[in-house]
Amino acid sequence: MLLTCLSVGSAWAGERILALSPHACEMLYAIGAGDEVVGVSEYCDFPDAVKNRPVIANYSRLYHEAALRLKPTLLIASNASLKGLETARQHGALIVVTHPENLQDIFDDLHRLGEQTGHASQATLLVGQLQTRLAEIKAKTDTRHRVFFEVWSDPLMTEAGNSFITQVLDAAGGDNVFSGNNVETMRVNIEAVIRAKPAVIIIPNRSGNIESRKAFWKQWLPTAYVIAINPDLISRPSPRIVEGIAQLQQQLDQIP
Amino acid sequence: MNQSVKWTMVLVMLIVAALLCLGLGEQWINPFAANGQDAVILWELRWPRLFIAFTVGGLLALAGAWFQVLLGNPLAEPYVLGVAGSASVGAVTALMIYPESALLMSVGAFVGAWIGISIVMAFAHLGSGRMLLAGVVLAAFWSALLALLLALLPRSELGLAFAWMMGDLSHSDLPIPLLLLTWGLALVCGFFLSRSLDALLLGERHAEALGIEVKRLRNRLLLLASAVTAIAVTAAGTIGFVGLVIPHLMRLLFGSLHRAVLPASAIGGGILLMLADSVARTIVAPSELPVGVLTAMIGVPVFLFLLLRRS
């Protein structure tokens, strides 16, 4: 038993991982591969430990010189066409792309990353816990509400179609009023929101102007409830999504 | 065609454009018989938007007409001279200092526009050719600076920056009465300046022979055109082509006398922007397109067609 652990440990000890998107960072830490992460991208901010890691990419490019200096063996990217990725590949690093488009993809990618980094058993355990929690939330959800999700206030933007957010809202008991539009992130005319008559408006709680956004929506949709939520919890395809769905479900549940 | 027939045409166009602007949108609303929710949308969303489109379009066209006489060059307009570029740099700088504030962004645009204009004005005494050249070079400089700032801007702010750079009429941070007042004042100033402008169009010497103080006229005109541009850019972001296309269009229609060209441009610019905005928020409803895309797509073919017919 000890022997197998040791041999597994030594086989993977050399892995040096660059996490090139916030959700990849969160996934790696959640399955216990955090210690092997040697570099992160600019917007990786969870868990706190990633803030000490050198930043070697932003959303559009890998800073390939700084990245190669870290001698990476494995790069986890959310976008295969990230500039500079090809250079790392030529230098012998393995590239794994994770771009979850629904909850099942998150679970699949957790398994995949687990196998890739030698943390398969932790990944399996985590996915099991997440799925149990999700089932509990689903069992609690009995009322459904028509919701509008505000991604950005100026210009007014939303997530439509069968986007990730639409599915997250659905799991929490919300029906996205723009799920019928075949676009993902879109600018939306305020007229269309008024006409769609959402019962609930979800705004991001980071904007610092929650009160003015609430007043804004009260003016146009006096009967709608406005709730604020941490957007990182529900728009980032990371394991924390289940926590986000739980919070959202709880808030939606309090609405008559 | 005599003048009164032409004016009637312009006014009919204005009414048609206004009705389209009020009626079109995410869903058709009859502007004369709206009630309930439609009435709220009509009165509180579409009417304000109509006024923003009309005044901004008119101001940009007036500024374009003035810049063209001022520089004696048909290519001149606020955008060619780099004024829009410096305004964008000001706006994006404001976004970097204090994110998520559209108001501060407008102030930044205003300051940026003034800085851009002041630099162009420093070349005024060297003649219009050099001033235009300086403007073109500055425009390139501002766009490089803008690219630098956008590369440094946090990703979350890019949406606002891009929306603004292609023009956004969904709301204005300047109150609508102020915009209407500016439009009216600009029109009155233009009326008083129209004879001097006609003289200037024939050449500086000709104007001086008529007893016009060319230098003073130039400075006044530059200040006026710049202030008007700054206000239009502050209200709606950067919208191209209105200032270039409309004055030429009105010259083709009314001849070169500014007594007719200036008021016609002030109305014509408004018509073009109202039409462009109506289309921008209809063809991809419930989403909307940046209005600057539409002004180019409507303005350029119309302009080329008229140029061909004319020759």
Nearest CA in chain B to A185: B287
> Is the ipTM, as predicted for this complex, more than 0.85?
no
| Structural domains of chain A sorted by starting position, each given as residue range(s) with its CATH number in brackets | 12-134 (3.40.50.1980), 143-253 (3.40.50.1980)
Q: Which residue has the tokens 């995949």?
A: A112
B163 touches chain A (CB under 8 A): yes
Contacts of A207 in chain B (CB under 8 A): 100
Condensed to tens digits (0 to 9), the pLDDT of residues B186-206 reads 999 988 888 888 888 887 788
pLDDT category of residue B180 using cuts at 50, 70 and 90: very high
Question: In chain B, which residue's Cα lies nearest the Cα of A206?
Answer: B100
Query: Which residue out of B21, B24, B26 would a mutagenesis test of the A interface target, given it has the greatest number of A Cβ atoms within 10 Å?
Result: B26
CB contact under 8 A, B287 and A207: no
At residue B206, what is the residue type?
A: H
CB contact under 8 Å between A191 and B170, yes or no, is: no
Question: Given A157, A189, A207, which is nearest B159 (Cβ)?
Answer: A157
Query: Which residue from A157, A178, A190 is facing B45, i.e. has the nearest CB?
Result: A190
- Share above pLDDT 90 across residues of chain A, in percent, rounded to a whole number: 62
Instruction: Retrieve residue B287's tokens.
Output: 């989403």
d(CA B277, CA A153): 20
Q: What is the mean pLDDT of chain B?
A: 84
Lowest mean pLDDT among A132-141, A179-188, A195-204: A179-188
pLDDT at B298 over 60: yes
Residue B105 near residue B174 (C-beta atoms within 8 A): no
Q: In this complex, do A152 and B168 lie within 8 Å of one another by their Cβ atoms? A: no
CA–CA min distance A32, chain B (Å): 29
Q: DSSP readout, A204-231?
A: ETTSS-HHHHHHHHHHH-TT-EEEEE-H
For residue B108, give its domain range.
Answer: 3-310
Instruction: List pLDDT tens digits, range B253-267.
Output: 888 888 889 999 999
Closest by CA position to A96, among listed A77, A110, A109: A77
C-alpha dihedral sign at B144, B147, B149, B151: negative
What CATH number does the domain containing B116 carry? 1.10.3470.10
Collapsed DSSP state (helix, strand, coil) of residue A229? strand
CB–CB contact A189 B160 (8 Å): no
Chain centre to alpha carbon of residue B190? 15
Contacts of B186 (CB under 8 A, 6+ apart): B58, B59, B62, B224, B228, B266
Q: What is the pLDDT of residues B39-88, one digit of tens each?
A: 888 888 899 999 999 999 999 999 889 888 877 777 777 777 788 888 88
Contacts of B100 in chain A (CB under 8 A): 154, 207-209
Let me know how long chain B is.
Answer: 311
User: Residue A188 and residue B286: Cβ atoms within 8 Å?
Assistant: yes
- The C-alpha of B44 sits at a distance from chain A's nearest C-alpha, in angstroms, of 10
User: Residue A121, Cα to own-chain centre: how many angstroms?
Assistant: 22
Instruction: Please name which of B17, B133, B33 lies closest in space to residue B75, comparing C-alpha atoms.
Output: B133
Contact A190 B100 (CB under 8 A): no
Buried b (16+ CB within 10 A) or exposed e, B282-307: beebbbbbbbbbbbbebbeeebeeee
Choose the closest CB to B160 out of A155, A181, A190. A155
Contacts of B159 in chain A (CB under 8 A): 152, 155, 157
Chain pair A-B, CB pairs under 8 angstroms? 59
- Report pTM: 0.81
- Taking the CA of residue B51 and the nearest CA in chain A, the distance in Å comes to 17
- pLDDT tens for residues B154-167? 766 677 677 777 78
B155, A43: Cβ pair inside 8 Å?
Answer: yes
Q: Do B287 and A59 touch (CB under 8 A)?
A: no
Answer whether B41 sits within 8 Å of A154, measured CB to CB. no
Nearest-angstrom CA–CA distance, B311 and B309:
6
**Distance in Å, alpha carbon of A129 to nearest chain B alpha carbon:** 32
Nearest Cα of chain A lies from the Cα of B75 at a distance, in angstroms, of 32
Is the CB of B49 inside 8 Å of chain A's CB atoms?
A: no
Measured CA to CA, the distance from residue B193 to residue B258 in angstroms comes to 9
- Model pLDDT for residues A2-24, shown as the tens digit of each residue: 433 443 443 445 689 999 999 99
pLDDT of residue B292: 85
**CA atoms of B311 and B303, how far apart (whole Å):** 13
| Contact residues for B81 (Cβ-Cβ < 8 A; gap 6+) | B67, B116, B117, B120, B132, B135, B136, B138, B139
Number of domains forming the structure of chain B: 1
State which residue of chain B sits closest to A178, comparing Cα positions.
Answer: B286
In this prediction, what percent of chain B has a pLDDT beyond 70? 96
